[in-house]
Amino acid sequence: MIFQKLIQRFWDLAGAVSIRTKILGIVLGLVVLFGVVVTIQARYALTATMTAQLEEQSASISRDLAARSTDPILLNDLLRLHDLLDETLANNPNVRYAFLVDSRGQVIANTFQGGFPLDLLSLNPVQPNEHHHTVLIQTDEGLVWDTAVPILDGKIGTARIGLSDASVRAAVSTLTVQFLITIALVSAAGILVAVFLTWILTRPILSLANATQAVAKGDFSPRVKRWANDEIGDLADAFNIMTEELARTDELRREREALRRQLLEKVITTQEDERRRIARELHDSTSQNLTSLIVGLRIMETHCAQCAAKAKASDLRQVASHTLDEVHDLSMRLRPRVLDDLGLAAALERLVSEWQARYKIPVDVVIQLSERLPGEIETAIYRIVQEALTNIARHAQAHSASILVERRGDIVRVIVEDNGIGFNINTNQEERHLGLLGMRERAELLNGTLTVESAPEHGTSIFIEIPLNPSLPMREGPGRRAEPVEAVREKPHDSPCACPPR
């Protein structure tokens, strides 16, 4: 578990850096690792080789001293012995000391200036039949190879020298410094090479990333250049093919959407024109005929006081009056003349007044419009509010509702809320979705947006935003965004909200 966490932590850290940093880290790490390993191996090999050479050199110098000191010892020529020791130190810089011992173990001559250290005699005793004997002595100046060589098989004495490892340490230190300098130079060159490689590798990747961001925003025009004939080049070609296909698909979608919008706009326009014509005919023809019938029946009822048909005339007049009211109401529903004559505010106030009188549900209406809106916008808002009020009466079981219509800059905002039973937006109810689709299509024809928020027992809210210039794309309002019918979010809230869309 701990190992897995460490691995996961490593991948998290490695994944947080860019490709350039990773390549630089790999190259620099390999160069440094290789340099360190080579330096350690070189130091070890050089130390072993020079140590062996130093030991051989120590034995060789000792044998030479022993051979050359034989005659002066036999002749008891102490001056010659001192000259021989001084010459040995002068010709061999690594020699730290040299001295001669007779067969009784007495020092005959030495090179120590401050007195001979007596404990040095017992550190390297020569055994019988040994050609030489070497021991390693630790001193303040470092390691010293002390080599003793018997003179004439030890019959007349022993020659001993001490060879310092200062040359070995100096050579190893020099080699280490040279290797470190080489590692630094190679690392600098490696960084330059890595920067060049990362530039070659990441340039097409960055181009792909930028083009992908443009495609994500809906721009299918970017094309990526094929930088090399490798896998990244194949990826660039595949990306270009994909964007071309997406561009063609988007163009087809736009054409279909334009055709659909034109067809829907024609359908709604034709519907409104037909409603206006029927309403005008009902008002001008049918209403006039019914009014004439009512007047005639009233005259007949008045002048036929003794007529047996008086009761029948009275009943017919009541039926005609009721029919006239229904025709008038039907005419207003088809196309309220007040919407064309006085504008949206007056039409909504009259609509709400008649709706309250019919369903006995209080509605709070706030309309903040300083001037009349374009005709198509007034018609769309009136129909959406009319549909919302109809749904409140049919399905919401609300005790109150509210309507807000306001203009903010170049946007008209409409909010319809109720405190009814609400509904689950994710539930697939065809009647609700058809009603919502109708309201949404009216808003989208004017580049507007429609958002619905509802939850069971929390009422419903409908938010509509329509730009005053329908040719311009709708700007997202604060805290609101356009959503498709199928993706409307279920969001419980406490405020009363508009009717459930049907």
Amino acid at 334: L
Could you give the strand order of the β-sheet that contains 142-151, starting from the edge strand earlier in sequence?
107-110, 95-101, 157-164, 142-151, 133-139
Neighbours of 433 (CB within 10 A): 18
355-383: per-residue pLDDT in tens? 898 889 999 999 999 888 988 888 889 88
Q: What is the layout of strands, in order, in the sheet containing 460-467?
A: 363-368, 401-408, 411-418, 460-467, 449-454
The mean pLDDT of 125-132, rounded to a whole number, is 72
What confidence tens digit (pLDDT) does each residue in 2-39 have? 777 777 776 676 666 677 777 777 878 888 888 888 88
Alpha helices in 415-486 (DSSP H): 430-445
pLDDT band at 281 (very low <50, low <70, confident <90, very high): low
229 CB-contact burial (10 Å; exposed 0-12 / middle 13-18 / buried 19+): exposed
pLDDT grade for 62, boundaries at 50, 70 and 90:
confident
Question: Predicted confidence band at 496 (pLDDT cuts at 50, 70, 90)?
Answer: very low
Contact 359, 393 (CB under 8 A): yes
Spatial CB neighbours of 375, under 8 Å, sequence gap ≥ 6 = 340
For residues 343 and 381, the answer to whether their CB atoms sit within 8 Å is no
Confidence at 252, pLDDT banded by 50, 70, 90: confident
Element holding 149 (H helix, E strand): strand 142-151
Q: Is the pTM of this model over 0.85?
A: no
Assign 489 a pLDDT band (cuts: 50, 70, 90). very low
Residue 131 contacts residue 144 (beta carbons within 8 Å): no
DSSP secondary structure code for residue 116 in this structure: -
More confident site: 181 or 486:
181
Q: Lowest mean pLDDT: which of 217-221, 222-226, 245-249, 425-429?
A: 425-429
Cβ-contact 210, 222 below 8 angstroms: yes
Round the CA-based radius of gyration of the chain to a whole number and report it: 54
Q: Which domains are present in the chain?
A: 17-173 (3.30.450.20), 343-487 (3.30.565.10)
Quick check: 60 pLDDT over 70? yes
Side chain identity at residue 59, one-letter code: A
- In sequence order, what DSSP letters do the residues of 392-426 get, joined into one string? IIIII--S-EEEEEEEETTEEEEEEEE-S----TT
Model pLDDT, residue 463: 94
pLDDT band at 117 (very low <50, low <70, confident <90, very high): confident
pLDDT at position 244: 87
Mean pLDDT of 112-122: 81
The pLDDT value recorded for residue 479 is 36
219-244 mean pLDDT: 83
Place of tokens 């020079």: 50
The more confidently predicted of residues 185 and 481 is 185
Phi, psi angles (nearest 5°) of residue 276: -60, -40
Tell me the C-alpha distance between 471 and 206, whole Å: 36
Supply the pLDDT for residue 226: 82
CA pair distance 184, 69, nearest whole angstrom: 52
In this prediction, what percent of the chain has a pLDDT beyond 70? 77
